[in-house]
Amino acid sequence: MHKNFYNHDDFDEYVKEQDKWICDDSWSLPEHNKFGYMLEKSAKYNAGKLVEYIVMLRSENITNHISVFHKKSKQNRDIWSGFVDSPDEYQVMMDVVKKFIEEYKNNSGAT
């Protein structure tokens, strides 16, 4: 069992190192205390334009409340939502995200 994240910066650094989540300012809403990240390896482009990816939103004012969803065109599909206070809980979340990605690839023929 790993220790809990000390603060939001600790969480942010961990997810960047573990799975290459990158800050996505298009989803960050500091005025609403929401900060967005894109899962780098999930990004799909068409003619140089980002058309599909996985987004994680972290709420600043609610202790480590996380929402993860799949963004394709104008559609958002919820993948996971809950609280992530430790690396162990983060891994539980990522197991769900990875399962979604695998099932999506198998069902849609996506690469």
Give 34-59 pLDDT, tens digit per residue: 788 899 888 888 887 788 899 999 88
Distance CA 68, CA 79 (A): 6
- Rounded to the nearest 10°, the torsion over CA 104, 105, 110, 111 is 140
The per-residue pLDDT for range 63-111, each reduced to its tens digit, is: 678 999 999 888 889 999 999 989 999 999 999 999 999 998 888 755 4
Radius of gyration of the chain (CA): 14
pLDDT of residue 78: 95
Q: How far apart are CA 18 and CA 90, in angstroms?
A: 10
Q: What's the predicted TM-score (pTM) here?
A: 0.83
Separation CA 10–CA 96 (nearest Å): 22
Close Cβ partners of 25 (under 8 Å, ≥ 6 residues apart): 36
